[in-house]
Amino acid sequence: MPVLDERKINRWIRAVAAHYGFAVGNINYIFCSDERELEVNRRFLGHDYYTDVITFDYSTASTLNGDIFISLDTVRSNAEMVGVTFDYELLRIIIHGVLHLTGQGDKTPETKAQMTAKEEHALSLWK
């Protein structure tokens, strides 16, 4: 399990959410293995592939709520592949899930580019 400064991450998530006009309610992060992530992906989304993050959105009009499953195995391999630290990639994936809760998609080249830009902006706020 990653060692996280929960207060710092909570402040950061609240700042990012506020930037998009949202308050933060209850966001649960479930850190798991690739196999567990695949099981969730198959069972709840009908997708038969590995992924780094799955977001279940229970938000209201103004408050972010959700469950975010993060595969630590994929975070680790992605970090190695792109040449960043595990901690940096984990922060990127955490905020990626939050951005999904704000309504940001990533299924088309255009929305994926928007997501990447928003991730980079959010990561620039990490202090």
DSSP state of 21: T
CATH number attached to the domain at 6-124? 3.40.390.30
Percent of the chain's residues with pLDDT above 70: 100
What predicted TM-score, i.e. pTM, was given to this entire model? Answer: 0.94
Confidence of residue 1 (pLDDT cuts 50, 70, 90): confident
Is residue 96 a contact partner of residue 115, using CB atoms and an 8 Å limit?
yes
Q: Out of 73-77, 109-113, 123-127, which region has the weakest mean confidence (pLDDT)?
A: 123-127
Residue pLDDT, tens place only, 22-71: 999 999 999 999 999 999 999 999 999 999 999 999 999 999 999 999 99
Task: Domain ranges for the chain, please list them.
Answer: 6-124
What confidence score (pLDDT) does residue 4 get?
87
Say if residue 127's pLDDT is above 80.
no
In the predicted model, what is the mean pLDDT of residues 93-111? Answer: 97
Dist CA 95 CA 111 (whole Å) = 16
Structure-derived torsion over alpha carbons of residues 41, 4, 2, 63, reported in degrees to the nearest 10? -10
